[in-house]
Amino acid sequence: MTTGIDDLQASIERHFAAGAAAVSDAAAMKAFLQLRAALEAGTLRSAEPDASATTGWRVNAWVKRGILLGFRIGVLEDQSIVGFHQAAHVFGKMPQITFVDKGTYPARRFTPDDGVRIVPGGSSVRSGAFVARGVVIMPPAYINAGAYVDEGTMVDSHALVGSCAQIGKRVHLSAAAQIGGVLEPVNASPVIIEDDVLVGGNTGVYEGTIVRRRAVLAAGTILTRGTPVYDLVHGAVLRATAEMPLIIPEGAVVVPGSRAVTGGYGKEMGLSVYTPVIVKYRDEKTDLSTTLEEVLR
């Protein structure tokens, strides 16, 4: 860490520990705004790659405490938007869309110089989120505070990137994909999607799951801490443990599946329960099916 980051960490930790006393402390607001700016610039992250860590990622719990500090010291403000569209000409006035939220977390504003495409239609990126050059956001989509979205990623319609979630380079979050985040407990790992992952439509990734690079999650796949994943290729069952989150291996192709209930009333009725299944690992044929992404971007 640099001296500046060390000083910021010490300040955040001090103001967070102060509890309600931080609400009226101008120094607490100054520290938070510095942290928020660093998050938006991508120079500070709530979780970051770390080769020495067991999972390959390190959680910066103090950064998450800083994000929580922003909610604590923020007050509700009118963040309504006055818009210009055809209705203004028809009714002779400018229509207003009403929003009320903590003043510490307004919606981010972008310019063409940022190199981010935000297609018109109702998407929002909250302050404190990093969005890299080359990212495309289709409406309506939402990126929450503390999230990190790297270069060339597509965030499709109705997709959510939760608080502190980490999204790698050239990821496609298809329509209605839900990437869970986490603020509390502060030591918990957020959901992490590594580089070149394809996340299918209506897919949900939650509870600190890590999806390694080049994996493919088929439409409708749900990954949680409590759901085992059956690897048909290697004859193994992947589970989260008390110390480790669920981790989807590099290049795995995961589809929704089911397994039969083997006892009791469930067996008698022929019931099955949902489970994700790894049916193969990514190959040239899989890569060819994703080349359309480059054209769209």
Shared-domain flag, residues 47 and 119 = no
Instruction: Identify the burial level of 66 via C-beta atoms within 10 angstroms of its C-beta, where 0-12 means exposed, 13-18 middle and 19 or more buried.
Output: buried
Task: Give me the CATH number covering residue 16.
Answer: 1.10.166.10
Shared-domain flag, residues 141 and 196 = yes
Domain stop point among 25, 49, 73: 73
Shared-domain flag, residues 81 and 128 = no
Shared-domain flag, residues 183 and 222 = yes
Task: Give me the CATH number covering residue 246.
Answer: 2.160.10.10
Shared-domain flag, residues 102 and 15 = no
Shared-domain flag, residues 23 and 123 = no
- Select from 102, 108, 152 the least CA-distant residue to 130: 108
Mean pLDDT of 61-74: 98
Shared-domain flag, residues 186 and 88 = no
Q: What region, left, alpha or beta, does residue 176 occupy, with left being phi > 0 and alpha being psi -120 to 50 degrees? A: left
Q: What is the pLDDT of residue 2?
A: 62
Q: What is the pLDDT of residue 90?
A: 54
Residue 280 has pLDDT above 50, yes or no: yes
Please tell me the distance from the alpha carbon of residue 42 to that of residue 62, in angstroms, as a whole number: 16
Domain stop point among 106, 123, 156: 106
Bridge partners (DSSP) of residue 110 are none
The residue with tokens 């509390």 is 184
Shared-domain flag, residues 21 and 111 = no
Beta-carbon count within 10 A of 188 CB: 17
pLDDT digits (tens, 9 = 90+) for 132-165: 999 999 999 999 999 999 999 999 999 999 999 9
Helices (H), the chain: 3-17, 26-41, 61-73, 86-91, 264-268, 284-288, 292-296
Residue 68: which domain range? 3-73
Q: What region, left, alpha or beta, does residue 50 occupy, with left being phi > 0 and alpha being psi -120 to 50 degrees? A: beta
Task: Examine residue 140 and say whether the peptide bond preceding it is cis (omega within 30 degrees of 0).
Answer: yes
Q: How many residues does the chain have?
A: 297
Shared-domain flag, residues 221 and 127 = yes
pLDDT digits (tens, 9 = 90+) for 78-90: 998 755 455 555 5
Give the model's confidence band at 286: pLDDT under 50 very low, under 70 low, under 90 confident, else very high: confident
Give the model's confidence band at 294: pLDDT under 50 very low, under 70 low, under 90 confident, else very high: low
Shared-domain flag, residues 68 and 132 = no
- Chain CA centroid to CA 99, Å: 22
Shared-domain flag, residues 166 and 258 = yes
Q: What is the pLDDT of residue 295?
A: 47
Please state, rounded to an integer, the average pLDDT across all residues of the chain: 92
Shared-domain flag, residues 91 and 173 = no
Q: What is the pLDDT of residue 92?
A: 57
Lowest mean pLDDT among 81-95, 128-142, 165-179, 229-243: 81-95
The total number of structural domains that make up the chain: 3
